[in-house]
Amino acid sequence: MDLSFSPEHEAFRKRVRGWIRTHMPKKEKDAQPLEFGDPKRIAAMKQWQRHLHEAGFVALGWPKEYGGQAAGIVEQTIVNEELLLARAPGLIGMMGIQMVGPTLIQFGTEEQKRRYLPKILTADDIWCQGYSEPGSGSDLASLKTRAELVGDQFIINGQKVWTSNAQFADWMFCLVRTDPDAPKHRGISYVLIDMKTPGITVRPLIQMTGDAGFNEVFFEDVRVPRTNLIGELNQGWLIANATLAHERNMLGSTTRTQQMFNGLVRLAKVHRRYGRPAAADPVMRQRLADLEIRVAAMKYHSFRQLTDAIKKRPTGIAASVNKLVSTELNHDIAACAMEVMGSYGTLARTSRRVIDRGMWPVEFMFTLGLVIGGGTSQIQKNIISERGLGMPR
């Protein structure tokens, strides 16, 4: 097995690294997290994505006619890695690029692809995901938001919850019930909703990090043209699952996990517990070794997934394995950092004595959210056992 990159790919990596070094925006002091919806920050984030897109580094695998580069998955992997290594700002349009975009390429009509895809890349349209509802999270197919087809319009009534980024999104890809009498998986449709349509109310929800990253979204007689339907009426479940597989891959990044682990090791070498660096404690060393083994295993799993993608082999349950392993590992790394810091871990971000700019308590809370979001660990284990290992339901 040859796990090294080809000379062409290494040359590409060098070019990407050089570009990022010269174009990366300066970190704004005291910048609010994106979740606060500051229009100046949103405009700056859109500008950053636009810049990257103009350089040809966004959605490299997409066909050229929709704004992509028709490049390989290896090039995209290299760009993602380099952005993370440089600690570059994330992309504001990630849900468009990684979730609804690939879904539209697979299931959209030609007209829908031409209308929506280019604006995803230029960050003119920011997307959010309207799947979960009160009472319909893990059991997503029980969703109740009703869309009635009247003439050439859907009239939508109901509620979504935990909708990340709805506070500044332009569009939502949404699951709605179009046939209440059909078995639950067969009465769902996948529609695109302009968030400026009358009848939509967005209410922020505060997370335990203190930020308001997600929202409740209410629909009252919201009129959506039938042309915003993706795929066939009542066939949305299949399309919804394609988007979910893309989401599960988005949530697991080996480079980010490796960076978090490197940060933990640095912390354990510097921070002193009981009169010596935490890393000198044999029990802590054992914990670190255990985490490092899991990071390495995750890396090799991602190489296998990359190989499958290059060879166009079906990925099977790989996305679920990736989501399960990476989100739990990230949380365990943050939990270990909290233990290394002891009571310093409870200090507020603004405290003078805070360690690593207060990132670890935030990571500890945020990564727990990602163990739940995109389908909980228990649900991933169900998928792996039933669809991967063929175990009975």
Question: DSSP of 253-317, one letter per residue?
Answer: -HHHHHHHHHHHHHHHHHSEETTEEGGGSHHHHHHHHHHHHHHHHHHHHHHHHHHHHHTT---TT
**If binding is defined by CB under 6 A, does position 129 make contact with ligand FAD?**
yes
The residue from 164, 234, 259, 315 that contacts ligand FAD (CB under 6 A) is: 164
**CB under 6 A: which stretch of 60-68, 72-80, 129-137, 232-240 binds ligand FAD?**
129-137
Minimum Å gap between C-beta 344 and ligand FAD is: 25
Q: Which of 162, 171, 219, 237 binds ligand FAD (CB under 6 A)?
A: 162
Residue 339's contacts (CB-CB under 8 Å, 6 or more residues apart) are 345
* Residue 138 sits in the site that holds ligand FAD (CB under 6 A): yes
CB of 382 to ligand FAD, least distance (A): 5
Q: Which of 62, 66, 214, 261 binds ligand FAD (CB under 6 A)?
A: 214
Among 65, 247, 292, 386, the active-site one is 247
By CB under 6 A, which span of 72-80, 156-164, 179-187, 338-346 interacts with ligand FAD? Answer: 156-164
Nearer to ligand FAD, 77 or 165 (CB): 165
Facing residues of 203 across strands?
A: 216
How near is the Cβ of 75 to ligand FAD at its closest, in Å?
Answer: 28
* 345 closest CA partner among 366, 329, 365, 360: 360
Per rule CB under 6 A, is residue 131 in the interface with ligand FAD?
Answer: yes
Short-list 84, 78, 103, 94, CA closest to 12: 78
* 378 near ligand FAD, rule: CB under 6 A: yes
Axis crossing angle, helix 73-85 with helix 282-310, rounded to the nearest 10: 150
Q: Does 379 bind ligand FAD (CB under 6 A)?
A: yes
Least CB distance from residue 388 to ligand FAD, whole Å? 16
Please identify, using beta-carbon distances, which residue of 302 and 380 lies nearer to ligand FAD: 380
Please select the residue that binds ligand FAD; options are 157, 255, 382, 385, rule is CB under 6 A: 382
Task: Dig out the tokens for 69 from the structure.
Answer: 């580069």
Nearer to ligand FAD, 163 or 305 (CB): 163
Q: Is 163 in the site for ligand FAD (CB under 6 A)?
A: yes
**Residue number with CB closer to ligand FAD (93 or 137):** 137
Residue 370: CB minimum distance to ligand FAD, A: 6
Which C-beta is closer to ligand FAD: that of 213 or that of 231? 213
3-state SS assignment for residue 6: coil
Distant-in-sequence, close-in-space partners of 150: CB < 8 Å, separation ≥ 6 = none
**Nearby residues of 226 by Cβ (< 8 Å), 6 or more positions away:** 149, 152, 153, 154
CB-neighbour burial class of residue 125 (10 A; exposed 0-12, middle 13-18, buried 19+): buried
Backbone φ and ψ for 177, nearest 5 degrees, come out as: -90, 115
- For ligand FAD, which is the closer residue by CB, 67 or 137? 137
From 76, 80, 132, 326, residue interacting with ligand FAD (rule: CB under 6 A)? 132
For residue 44 the two structure tokens come to 């700056």
Cross-strand partners of 147: 156
Residues linked to residue 42 through DSSP beta bridges, in sequence order: none
| Number of residues located near ligand FAD, criterion CB under 6 A | 20
CA distances from 57 to 106, 194, 200 (A): 21, 27, 34
CB of 207 to ligand FAD, least distance (A): 7
Between 148 and 211, CB nearer to ligand FAD: 211
Q: How far is CA 197 from CA 8, 119, 200, 224, 361, in A?
A: 48, 18, 6, 8, 38
Establish whether 247 is a catalytic residue.
Answer: yes
DSSP for 221-241 reads EEEEEGGGEESSTTBHHHHHH
Q: Which is nearer to ligand FAD, 68 or 137 (CB)?
A: 137
Position closest to ligand FAD via CB: 137
Q: From residue 393, give the alpha-carbon distance in Å to each of 237, 355, 383, 387.
A: 19, 46, 10, 10
Q: Does 89 bind ligand FAD (CB under 6 A)?
A: no
Residues designated catalytic: 247
Residues that bind ligand FAD (CB under 6 A): 128-132, 137-138, 162-164, 214, 369, 372-376, 378-379, 382
